[in-house]
Structure 1
Amino acid sequence: MHDNRPRTSTPDTLPEVISRYLTAHRAHDTATALTAFAREATVIDDGNTYEGIEAIGGWLDRSAAEFTYTIYLTDAQQTDATRYIATHHLEGNFPGGTIDLRYQFTLRDGLIERLAIEP
């Protein structure tokens, strides 16, 4: 019997590849963050789509330099065998000053294949 209901995870039960990406992203370590992505990965953030490692690297560099903010993981869920949602609370000097964002990860072969970030 398969249960398709989301399972709440604690941050330490997220897959290693997601934890590696989140830790590197918080530290503005683009090189390490990129090791978590498949070569043909896609990131969707703020209405833009970034396809492939080069485009994702540019997005990571820009997002690290554009604003100053703190980010805290507030919830983590596994929604199926390859999908996870990590909810973060951000506070900083961006428009609005605070926001809660859902980082929706899809994994394939142990790497991030897709990341969609939205409120």
Structure 2
Amino acid sequence: MHTDQPQDIAPDALPEVITRYLAAHRDHDTATALSAFQPGATVTDEGKTHRGAPAIETWLDRSASEYTYTIKLTGAQKVDTGRYVATHHLEGNFPGGVVDLHYRFALDGGLIENLVIEP
């Protein structure tokens, strides 16, 4: 039976490349975070798409310095072989102060090909 319904998984069951990216992003380790992406990867955050390593690096640096916040991984889902969702709860000094964000990952060749961050 084929289903397109995401399946809940334990956060520690996420692929290594995703957990490496998330830890590096949380620790503001841009170089390690960037190493999880394919050279031509895309990241969409706040409705803007950043394409390629230089643009993603700029986005990582900006998101690390723009606001101060705590981030907690609260859930994970496997959509299919290469697609995962990591849900995070953020609290900080950004507009609204509290938000739950879904990090939608598409993997290819063991690296992140696409990441969409949305509520």
Where on the TM-score scale, by shorter chain, does this alignment land: which range? over 0.9
Aligned-partner residue type, residue 2 of structure 1: H
Matches within 5 A, 1:108-119: 108-119=108-119
Matches within 5 A, 1:19-38: 19-38=19-38
Secondary structure of the residue aligned to 1:4 is coil
Shift of 1:53: 0.4
TM-superposition CA deviations, 1:44-69 (whole Å, max 9, x none): 00011100000000000000000000
CA distance in 2, matches of 1:50, 1:65: 17
TM-superposition CA deviations, 1:10-47 (whole Å, max 9, x none): 11100000000000000000000001000000000001
Q: TM-score, normalised by structure 2?
A: 0.97
CA distance in 1, matches of 2:61, 2:4: 36
Aligned-partner residue type, residue 75 of structure 2: D
Aligned-partner residue type, residue 59 of structure 1: W
* Dislocated runs of 4+, deviation >3 Å: 1-4
* Structure 2 unpaired stretches of 5+: none
Shift of 1:9: 1.1
Matches within 5 A, 1:95-106: 95-106=95-106
Shift of 1:89: 0.3
Identity %: 65
Give the length in aligned residue pairs. Answer: 119
Shift of 1:3: 3.9
Matches within 5 A, 1:3-82: 3-82=3-82
Q: TM-score, normalised by structure 1?
A: 0.97
What is the root-mean-square deviation of aligned Cα atoms in Å? 0.8
CA distance in 2, matches of 1:40, 1:76: 25
TM-superposition CA deviations, 1:84-118 (whole Å, max 9, x none): 00000000000000000000000000000000000
CA distance in 1, matches of 2:34, 2:83: 19
